[in-house]
A and B are shown apart, each in its own frame.
Chain A
């Protein structure tokens, strides 16, 4: 995986933001959009172009929950951990996902299909418990509904 990083994909982002002060977070966000995570080689290139030390970039990258340093699966499940979801039994949904996929928070299934991440409130509290999978939001989850969604996604990927 590491060998296939195409750093030229960063050219546009770096030419637009490298010289603009205060843009590190924006650059990292674009980088993650391109690669799905922050590859080591990309961080080194960003450091070279912006003059920000790699240690500082890592300091910022690890501070914010949005950033990842490992590739994620085809489907990134973001399970909301907000208060309303907690009150409406999001714990049961977490357990269902763990049982169905055999992964914990922060892990990816062996087939590379699903990654699970528990996240802060997604702001769709009226539909709690809620999860987002890639760009789509799924609300009013029950264990059965969750299993069905996962099954459909798995079949769609085949």
Chain B
């Protein structure tokens, strides 16, 4: 038997390391190791127990107090004490309904051991690629139809080919791991859970374009990803996989990690290059494109983490196998980080061509609240919100683009009726206004002015003419804010009124005791009343009431 504990950042934050320590403190007679992100983030911490036939018993929402029960199961086969922790059939389907290529090793292998990766056939694709010409490698990627998973969906082979054909001996292969879209964490999971897969994909890319230097630009907010990637680079270097004459070939390539310092705009490739060179991350004018003049003005190719995570699989299985999945215009699979008001949040990899409903309802289990689904935000600040009536939209670059949103890097933030769309727009404008690098006036001034308008509207001071100015945004909900001075979602505090439902109120006095301005009156066991003139709409009464008696409208 062996025990494997899921230790991605989310798992650790949920308590996986405490569980591991607790298991080390009880007498468990089997090997205890770690793996990365299993993807069922809503069930963390997760402990997987494999028996000698490699049959898996998965325990979920484990706490350190369960350690002895786990020991009893492992040592004596006494299942009774862990029975309540075993994952349900319904929850298991969260994974069994997925098709995992980029995430194929995530949550299975130990990300800190190169031998765990090579045991799955890791680095075989690199060996295979080195036996081909770079043109043949690019051709396989062309047949696969792989497109940039960072969001834009540009054909990967085209970029590789442009960099390959660019004149010059010194070239750079760069991985964009500056996962800046709020709500997206696919790339973090890949690096934390399967760093060698990224390295292998990058080395194949470097060979294809003729680069001798590979650089990974990672967000500083991802310390665990940086630590595991550094460790993996060290192991691969010791194994002769990074460095001079890789696998005895003429191909040599070194590796470097650069940590970003927190700037959303650095996800844009020319801003990323500026940042790599130690400057402010201000985008450069294009052309020239990085393929002609990139890092240190040398030909450079930049792809996203998930794009590279598909490469080794494609080389091993052939471009046709990858292209057999998906739609006419979008091939292969895509990873989504599904979060927000959805019941089962986590990482979902599915073939292109599935619908949003498949992801949010079939795999994600629908809403975790009793409120109906309202919209899903995709593509981060550059994307948009797809409303409920478009839930059957097919996942495909073109079809998603037609809704006004974009595929994006894979963040899917699910919202129910309690999320205000005007507030959501304000949230993103606040983000883009803060993150604007200031180079172009449209963004520097435009986002600020729009934010001011939305602040006015959500404070109840919206006026005629505002809608026309913001007309591309969600219409009816804006009208309610401006004309009726109501926020249908009940989120914009200036437009909300709190009252107490006398039938539900038990007179427990909790709300009155919590009200910071003494706006609630009433005696014990009798319904209380809110003085709306005194009320500052802080929402404390609403959040403390145990009987749902406080009404927010």
Contacts and interface: CB of A to CB of B under 8 A. Distances in A.
Interface stretch (B77-85, B276-284, B302-310): B276-284
B340 A87 contact: yes
A66 B12 CA distance: 23
A72 interface: no
Contact of A23 (B278, B424, B543): B278
A87 B9 contact: no
Nearest to B179: A123
Contacts of B246: none
A25 B12 contact: no
19 contacts: A21-B278, A25-B278, A28-B261, A65-B263, A66-B261, A83-B380, A83-B428, A84-B182, A87-B340, A88-B341, A120-B182, A120-B262, A123-B9, A123-B185, A123-B219, A125-B184, A125-B339, A125-B345, A137-B9
B499 interface: no
A121 B414 CA distance: 16
A63 B265 CA distance: 11
Given A24-B278, A120-B221, 6 more contacts: A65-B262, A83-B340, A83-B428, A87-B414, A137-B13, A139-B13
Q: In the complex, which range does the number of interface residues on chain B fall in?
A: 35 or more
A149 interface: no
B220 A82 contact: no
Interface string B1-17: 00000000110111000
Contacts of B280: 59-60, 63
A56 to B, nearest CB: 8
A90 B110 CA distance: 33
Interface in A109-139: 119-128, 130, 135-139
Interface in A55-83: 59-60, 63-67, 81-83
B527 to A, nearest CB: 24
Contacts of B419: 87
B488 interface: no
Contacts of B413: 83-84, 87, 125
B41 A127 contact: yes
Contacts of A130: 13
Nearest to A65: B262
A123 B261 contact: no
A107 interface: no
B315 interface: no
Contact of A83 (B41, B261, B411, B543): B411
A69 B345 CA distance: 38
- Residue among A25, A60, A92, A138 facing the most chain B CB atoms (10 A cut-off): A25
B384 to A, nearest CB: 12
B243 interface: no
Interface in B503-541: 538-539
Contacts of B9: 123-124, 137
B445 to A, nearest CB: 18
Contacts of B221: 119-123
Given A25-B275, A83-B427, A143 B188 contact: no
A64 B435 CA distance: 9
Interface in A1-38: 21-26, 28-29
B365 interface: no
B151 interface: no
B264 interface: yes
A137 B439 CA distance: 34
B420 to A, nearest CB: 10
Contacts of B414: 87
Nearest to B280: A63
B263 A84 contact: no
